[in-house]
Amino acid sequence: MKELLDVLNKCGYDSHFVKTKEEALNLSKTYIKEGMSIGLGGSVTVDQIGLLNFLTNKKDITLHNQYELGITMDENKERRRQGLVSDLFVTGINALTKDGKIVNADGSGNRVAAFCFGPKKILAVVGINKIVDSVEDGFKRVMEVAAIKNIDRMNQKSIEMGKEPRQNINTIANKFTWVKADEKDRIVIILVDEELGY
């Protein structure tokens, strides 16, 4: 793991390795400061470590939470837009290559856009199941693992909310990025020695 962290640091990322999701939550909290504006990218991992719950209950930040129940689609879109100019954008990663490339897919595009430009910092939490050998393997993982599981998850949420399930491979994975480096320390990567997310 030290070798991978060295590679990630050479790419300009502020990278860390922790053993448990509890440690990941505690480390994540150190990046969240009073008065910050915070955007969100869709991430099961962020939810699994307890970070989404922490953020939604934190009163001294401005959270652009597009997942809040009861908001309109217009408000949802506006919150995603605001997240792109936030102090910190909190999300996960679909795949991370051993040579330091970040591979993501998105439906709406706010998460892939954030990795390219916008938020002052990105905080990305990543389970070891996301580590792949190459960009090609990353895109394969996106399409054959992450997208499929997210289609099922999002369609199930729609059913639970009394809505028609409408997600498919063309709506959930239609925008892609791979990032090979960034300005020093803008992207914070917390690698967790557990299988997390999709």
Would 177 be classed as within a structural domain? yes
For residue range 20-35, what is the model confidence (pLDDT) as tens digits?
999 999 999 999 999 9
Helix (H), strand (E) at residue 46: helix 44-48
Number of Cβ within a 10 Å radius of residue 108: 17
What would the mean pLDDT of 57-71 be, rounded to a whole number? 94
- The residue-averaged pLDDT of 65-85 equals 93
Average pLDDT, the chain: 95
In a domain, 108, yes or no: yes
Distance CA 169, CA 93 (A): 18
- State residue 140's pLDDT score: 97
Give the range among 105-114, 132-141, 182-191 with minimum mean pLDDT: 105-114
Q: Residue 25 sits in a domain of what CATH number? A: 3.40.50.10420
Count of structural domains, the chain: 1
Q: Is residue 198 part of a domain?
A: no
**Is residue 80 situated within a structural domain?**
yes
In a domain, 99, yes or no: yes
Comparing 1-5, 65-69, 152-156, 173-177, which segment has the lowest mean pLDDT?
152-156
Q: Is residue 180 part of a domain?
A: yes
**pLDDT on residue 161:** 74
pTM: 0.93
pLDDT given for residue 156 in this prediction = 85
In a domain, 197, yes or no: no
Instruction: Give the residue-averaged pLDDT of 127-147.
Output: 96
Task: Pick 12 or 169 by higher pLDDT.
Answer: 12
Look at the alpha carbons of 47, 103, 27, 198 in this order and tell me if their dihedral is positive or negative. positive
In angstroms, rounded to a whole number, what is the distance separating the alpha carbons of residues 40 and 87? 11
Secondary structure of 65-110 as H, E, C letters = CCCCCCCCHHHHHHHHHHHCCCCEEEEECCEEECCCCEEEEECCCH
pLDDT, position 45: 97
Domain interval for residue 145: 2-192
Residue 113 has pLDDT above 80, yes or no: yes
- Residue 48 placed within a domain: yes
